[in-house]
Chains A and B, each alone.
Chain A
Amino acid sequence: MLPIASSELIQILRNRLVLVTSLIIPFAVSALFVRQHEVFADIGSLGYIAAIVMFTVAAFGLYATAVTTLASRRQNLFLKRLRSTAVADSTILAGLLLPPTTIAVVQVAAILTALAVVAGGPANVALLVLAVIATLAMMIALALATAGLTNSPEHAQVTTLPVTLGVIAVATWVGIAGTENLAWLKRLLPGGAATELAGNAWNGGVAVTDSLLLLAPTLGWVAVAVALATRLFRWEPRR
């Protein structure tokens, strides 16, 4: 897995477009939220900022990059080339997805640390870590499913829009409006429960057991996305 991951990292660093979309845009957007944290905390809460930062990185930095990468590697038959070797399919996917996932983890950690420094830290770090892991797992699974519907890196600019805009919209809705109304709907939408979980972890005031239940919908989305990916993912371009 590591040889594939290191070659993938080299490719990310050599491709300016991927570098900008996966590193600079999420970082810039997140930096704006951290810098203007008082304004956004008034609208929602510090937990909302943590959630929106998490989803900005997960959607633009991880999900969109993963879909673009998989579509590109399939289009130029690099996936087929890798499958001509002795490594298993799962190892190939893990190697390809490890660099954008690692970059996303580092970005989220750095930005949330910055938020903690300027505005005060989270009430429950472990819960926040769980929220981040569940969110990243959901976005990776959704990326695998979306890659099955994406013919080329250019096509990825269109196919990634529903999920990227969708999860940001849900995170904003849940983060600002809370879950007093339409709680079940908000929690069942992709990103809704994870936003509430991240908010609870940062703001505190909710029992840990109640917060942990919020992992279920996110893990459910992971299962749905993996099932979709199993049916949709293709290793070679359509004939």
Chain B
Amino acid sequence: MSTTPVIEVDRLNLTYGDFPAVRDLSFEVRPGELYALLGTNGAGKTSTLEVVEGHRAPTSGTVRVFGHGPRDRRSVRPRMGVMLQESGFSPDLTVRESVGLIGRLSGRSDDVDRVIDLVDLTDRAGRRVSQLSGGEKRRLDFATAVYGTPELIVLDEPTTGLDIQTRDAVWATVDRLRENGATIVLTTHYLEEAQQRADRIGLMHQGTLDREGTVSELTRSLPAVIQFSLAEPVPVLPRHLVVDADGKVVIETFALQKDLHALLGWAQDHAVELRDLQAGPTRLDDVFRAITR
């Protein structure tokens, strides 16, 4: 497989009037990887994707997709499927007509009914888009993105508004596409989806890329937390432990297993009851909260 980046973003800036939506953003997406672009509302994720999709011209900086400018539709679009954040289908066309139209215009070929079946809309194929629920519209959107099995698929909040079964079905399809070598770029508000599936994550905040790396690289930068409460004062508390007014103890550690083992040993030796004991590795949520603090 080629190692040339599928997407190259170099010092991208995008402003709306005086408002800088994206500031000096650089990142690459490698062939076959699932790259998740995460961030708070207004962090600049969708603006960045819109430049990558060719919907918006950068104020400065360069973006290349498969080595081409993203606005070179003839070169880029047949290799790239896009799931927009908002629907964008004509309410008066049916599901089958919508998939057929957008599919044909994508420059890829596929069996319309196969794609409709893939997103479980076969029984809605003859219905107009105006008669679909929000979740069904998202599935229709996903269908047009994966039509013709493109090499690159951009998914802007693909599972928002979907029930858990449909969400699983969407991810199963994405997994199959990845097995065939597809590259995925994802934005989502469901951090657990990114944590489970992304090869690398870019965390955006206020238009810039605050951090980037694998889940373990990102979480490694923050300590894990052990917390418990003490039922009664303890005469021989280890000196680095601080008990707050409610009797709660919070330990931040970069060596969770070792320190938890030591804590349990200490509690055993001194017959101390650790109430509501909780311990866990750093999660993406914690990193996310840390950058927005």
Binding site for B on A (CB under 8 A): 3-4, 7, 10-11, 14-15, 73, 76-78, 80-88, 236, 239
Contact = CB atoms under 8 A, between A and B. Distances in A.
Contacts of A236: 55
Contacts of A73: 90
> Chain B CB within 10 Å — which of A7, A82, A239 has the most?
A7
B84 A85 contact: no
B102 interface: yes
Contacts of B161: none
A81 B73 contact: no
Interface residues of B, number: 28
A65 B7 CA distance: 40
Interface stretch (B104-112, B264-272, B274-282): B104-112
A81 B16 contact: no
B82 A10 contact: no
A84 B53 contact: yes
A230 B105 CA distance: 24
A217 to B, nearest CB: 36
A86 B86 contact: no
Contacts of A83: 54-55
Contacts of B160: none
A73 B53 CA distance: 19
Nearest to B77: A86
A13 to B, nearest CB: 9
A77 B88 contact: yes
B88 A78 contact: yes
A7 B92 CA distance: 9
B78 A86 contact: yes
Interface-central residue, B73, B92, B106, by most chain A CB under 10 Å:
B92
Contacts of A7: 90, 93, 97, 101
A10 B97 contact: yes
Nearest to A11: B92
Given A77-B87, A239-B16, A87 B105 contact: yes
Contacts of B101: 3-4, 7
Contacts of A15: 92
A77 B104 contact: no
B84 A81 contact: yes
Given A81-B84, A86-B73, A86-B77, A3 B105 contact: yes
Nearest to A236: B55
Nearest to A84: B82
